[in-house]
Amino acid sequence: MKVGSILENQTLEKRIAVTPEIVKKYLSLGFEIFLSKDYGSHLGINDKEYLEAGAKISNDETEILTNSDVIIQLGMLSDEKSSLIKENQNLIGVFNPYENKNKIEILSKKKVNVFSLEMLPRITRAQSMDILSSQANLAGYKAVIEAFANFEKAVPMMMTAAGTIPAAKVLVVGAGVAGLQAIATAKRMGAIVFATDVRMASKEQVESLGGKFLTVEGSENLETEGGYAKEASEEFKKKQENLLAETLKKIDIVVCTALIPGKKAPLIIKENMLNNMQPGSVIYDLAAVQGGNTAYTEADKVIEKNGVRIMGERNILNKLPVSASNLYAKNIFNFVDNLLDKEKKKIDIDLDDEIIKKTLIGL
């Protein structure tokens, strides 16, 4: 059995799906590992480290894609490279089935098994494979660091002989994995932290991290059975809007993390709310790539409105590619381990397994 991985488009994605440490784990399951030349060199991992771990390095990406039983990537391959994959091969990654619907349909018609790991069910057995949680954790941390770096005042309270500098006030919109890490990071750095979320279950988690949970009067619990946020009613949105408009008057930094799987990001901070914010405030919008939670958000741009900076990147994890790759590689390995029939030493597409059924897309 062969596992292969080729370099992503470096302008879009710096993370990798295989680290030298993980190579040894694949070998222990009986796999051979094939990687493209200079696979991890941009992260300071040279080919020698992969060779010493037991991987095989190839100059020919076509050979890797056509001969591998399992192909593991970050994002969807280009049309040219996708066309090389054939029947019964297994393609694993984070493929955004809503954006890449046509590509996935073409692969499925060729009887390629396409597994997209953002579709993993939120069950205990899947936690070690949960790429959304591992990557969102880092994204929430880095969003705070980036926002603070662009905030032109001190964050913690400082008492000096010349006077006292008050602590910065931070609002985190969305208290999922990224939001909770953002709260924890901002709190550790001395900020006063507020948070809001449509899921009432988040209140206890926010407060356990030292944040203050902003509750909309008469809140309904907007949480799916899978633990994700679902779309709010118009009445709820109006109440939330009024609460946010008042809160933003005293907030210095906002970190937006609200996403609904498979849909455009909800617009939460509207144009009129920005007028309430103090000049010099900063908004970091982690939802930028899906349209943003804030009016005027544009991916990979800093937009300034009324003295408020609105930031958002297409892929913030390109700023933490080593840490993100280490976690992602472990998530993917655990998923492949679950796919493998240990006795027969082959990939087993068992649709009675909820993990496999939910992530196998394009059927």
Are both 291 and 325 inside the same structural domain?
A: no
Active site residue 122: yes
Q: Is residue 291 part of a domain?
A: yes
Q: Going residue by residue through the chain, which has 363 residues, state the pLDDT in tens, using 9 for 90 and above.
A: 999 999 999 889 999 999 999 999 999 999 999 999 999 999 999 999 999 999 999 999 999 999 999 999 999 999 999 999 999 999 999 988 877 888 999 999 999 999 999 889 989 999 999 998 999 999 999 999 999 999 999 999 999 999 999 999 999 999 999 999 999 999 999 999 999 988 888 999 999 999 999 987 655 555 555 555 556 677 777 888 889 999 999 999 999 999 876 678 889 999 999 998 999 999 999 999 889 999 999 999 999 999 999 999 999 999 999 999 999 999 999 999 999 988 888 898 999 999 999 999 976
Catalytic residue among 83, 127, 208, 233: 127
**CATH at residue 239:** 3.40.50.720
Say yes or no: 60 and 71 in one domain. yes
Residue 125 lies in a domain: no
> From the candidates 36, 50, 89, 130, which is the catalytic residue?
130
- 89 and 226 together in one domain: no
> Are 56 and 165 within one domain?
no
Contacts of 247 (CB under 8 A, 6+ apart): 171, 194, 214
Tell whether pTM > 0.75. yes
- Would residue 36 show up in a list of annotated catalytic residues for this protein? no
pLDDT for res 97 = 80
Choosing from 47, 69, 108, 122, the catalytic residue is 122
**Phi then psi for 74, rounded to 5 degrees?**
-90, -60
What is residue 218's predicted lDDT score, i.e. its pLDDT? 57
Q: How far apart are the first and last CA of the chain?
A: 24
Is there a domain that residue 130 lies in? Answer: no
Final residue in a domain of this structure, among 302, 318, 334: 318
Do 230 and 356 lie in a common domain?
no
Assigned domain for 124 exists = no
Question: Is there a catalytic annotation at residue 141?
Answer: no
247 and 348 inside one domain? no
Position 214 scores a pLDDT of 92
Is the separation of the CB atoms in 153 and 182 below 8 Å?
no
Q: Pick the catalytic residue from 108, 228, 296, 353.
A: 228
Q: How many distinct structural domains can be found in the chain?
A: 2
Is 303 domain-assigned? yes
- CA dihedral sign, ordered 43, 47, 48, 50: positive
> How far is the C-alpha of 205 from the C-alpha of 193, rounded, in Å?
13
Does 201 share its domain with 92? no
Query: What's the pLDDT at 147?
Result: 97
Residue 217 domain boundaries: 137-318
Active-site pick, 5, 82, 89, 133? 133
Same domain, 326 and 308: no
